Amino acid sequence: MSKTDILTLLKSHGVMPTRQRLEVAGVLLDRAQHLSADQIIDCLRDSGSHVSKATVYNTLKLFSEKDLVKEVNVDSTRKFYDSTTHAHHHFYHMNTGELYDIPADQISIMSLPDLPKGTEQESVEVLIRVREIKS
């Protein structure tokens, strides 16, 4: 994704494109991927960026609020930022810490419970945790 594309994308979501936000977006929105805040910070550092950790976290929060990224909480201590924002399913590999998309045609949900009164279904997303088989 070019800098012009990123600039246009941020503006179209109502995000003021500061230098720091453009740098974070350049890492995360470049392609379909799942990155933790620490992975984004590492990528920025590797490219010579001096964006602070607090700025990265604040930017990710803003991007999530503006639907530029989707937050995926895999457990109480680990969160990923997914550049694919529509509802979809994931595998989380417990040993490697990687998050993978599951193709939509590989999940079939036969039925759902009755929804609480006064609510409507927004989405259904499945997270399957996997780990290496111990020999």
pLDDT digits (tens, 9 = 90+) for 19-29: 999 999 999 99
CATH of the domain at 46: 1.10.10.10
In a domain, 44, yes or no: yes
| 104 lies in some domain | yes
Q: What is the rounded CA–CA span in Å between residue 41 and residue 57?
A: 9
What is the total count of domains within the chain?
A: 2
Same-domain check for residues 53 and 110: no
- Predicted TM-score (pTM) of the model is 0.89
Domain that holds residue 78: 3-82
Q: Which band of pLDDT confidence, cut at 50, 70 and 90, is reported for residue 1?
A: confident
Q: Over 90: is that where the pLDDT of 95 sits?
A: yes
Residue 9 pLDDT greater than 90, yes or no: yes
Query: Are 67 and 11 in the same domain?
Result: yes
Decide if 119 contacts 101 (C-beta within 8 A). no
Structure tokens at 132: 């290496």
Q: Is the pLDDT of residue 30 over 90?
A: no
Asked whether the predicted pLDDT for residue 13 surpasses 90, the reply is yes
Whether residues 43 and 96 fall in one domain = no
- Is it the case that residue 2 has pLDDT exceeding 90? no
Round to whole Å and give the CA distance between 11 and 18.
Answer: 11
Arithmetic mean of pLDDT, 79-98: 95
User: Is the residue at 135 inside a domain?
Assistant: no
**Dist CA 65 CA 131 (whole Å):** 31
